[in-house]
Amino acid sequence: MARDELARFLRDRRTALRPRQLGLPTGTRRRTPGLRREEVAELAHISVDYYTRLEQARGPRPSPRVLDALAQALRLTPAERGHLFGLAGTSVPPPAAGAVRRVRPHVARMLERLPETGALVTDAAYGVVAWNPLARALLGGDLGRGTVNLARRRFLGAGRMPDSSSTEESGHIVVARLRRAAARYPHDAALASLLSELHDASDEFRRIWETGPVHAPGHRTKTLDHPTAGRLRLNCDVLLVPEDDQEVVLITADPGSRSARGLRALAAAAA
């Protein structure tokens, strides 16, 4: 165990975080811009004394459970998490506890700068964790409640799902991603509950699951029948946020097309 390096790494990551990134009050009495030790300890569900001893290079070797809790509290990327385990003398970290269900502030701000592009972010279990107004106008107002799961929409009809030319293909894409998530996050209770619900309620989901589909995110074109904008021919492109195992879905139309005019009208109404 590299105690000095571990202590330095924890201090560096703690001071690099800002309270507002975690929804904590900033206040005016902070001596440093980062988090306090007691805040990290509380987020990791360990004692302040124990965490302090780790930062002072005089603590015992942390267990994998403690390391995993610290990685989550300090918002470490997968690479940083692996480094943390290595410093503690554990070369291979155990699987992450579950899918990341928060969105990084810079990713959320990116969506706001795309006024004529529908944009949303989904986690590894197809929960929608961020969206912009045009995406909400395209896919339904319930998107704004932050509780939408696109797998439930696709297989259980939970929420508005406009008719689309890619319905059959999308089923295989959704199942392929959920199978990857199940392998990566075997201890994620929320994901396990979702998969059980889909298996119990959808014959189509069970049938596709048994085929073991494999799919890589990329470009797709689909036609969507919108209740007010009419038939729209849309391009869907996916950008990856690999450190959080999330996908940014960008929905556009060909420039100058009737569909582009329809998107522009929806964007104006949403704004």
CATH number at residue 34: 1.10.260.40
Q: Are residues 243 and 139 in the same domain?
A: yes
- Write down the pLDDT at residue 115: 85
pLDDT of residue 10: 93
Q: Is residue 55 part of a domain?
A: yes
- Residue 150 sits in the same domain as residue 253: yes
Residues 71 and 115 in one domain: no
Report yes or no on 40 lying in a domain. yes
**245 and 122 within one domain:** yes
Judge whether 119 lies within some domain. yes
Do 136 and 52 share a domain, yes or no? no
Select from 60, 87, 114 the last residue of a domain. 87
Are residues 126 and 55 both part of a single domain? no
Query: What pLDDT, on the 0 to 100 scale, is given for residue 143?
Result: 78
CB 119 within 8 A of CB 134: yes
Q: What is the CATH number of the domain that holds 176?
A: 3.30.450.180
Residues 19 and 148 in one domain: no
Q: Which of 56, 87, 118 is the last residue of a domain?
A: 87
Paired residues of 232 in beta bridges? 224
* 75: nearest Cα among 20, 140, 2, 143: 20
Domain that holds residue 211: 105-270
Would you state the pLDDT for residue 219?
A: 86
Shared domain for 235 and 180, answered yes or no, is: yes
Low-confidence stretches of the chain (pLDDT beneath 70):
20-32, 91-96, 158-168
Question: Based on the structure, what is the number of domains in the chain?
Answer: 2
Residue 28, pLDDT score: 55
Q: Are residues 153 and 247 in the same domain?
A: yes
Q: What pLDDT, on the 0 to 100 scale, is given for residue 214?
A: 85
Residue 126 domain flag: yes
CB neighbour burial string for 43-67, b if at least 16 within 10 angstroms, e if fewer: bbebeeeebeebbebebeebeeebb
Q: How many helices (H) and strands (E) does the chain have?
A: 12, 5
The answer to whether the beta carbons of residues 111 and 120 sit under 8 Å apart is yes
| Strand 118-122 with 246-252, pairing | antiparallel
- Residue 219 falls inside a structural domain: yes
- Same domain for 140 and 9? no
Q: What is the 3-state secondary structure (H, E, C) of 229-262?
A: CEEEEEEEEEEEEHHHCEEEEEEECCCCCHHHHH
Q: What pLDDT is stored for residue 186 in this prediction?
A: 85
Give the end of a domain, one of 23, 56, 87: 87
DSSP, collapsed to helix, strand or coil, labels residue 42 as: helix
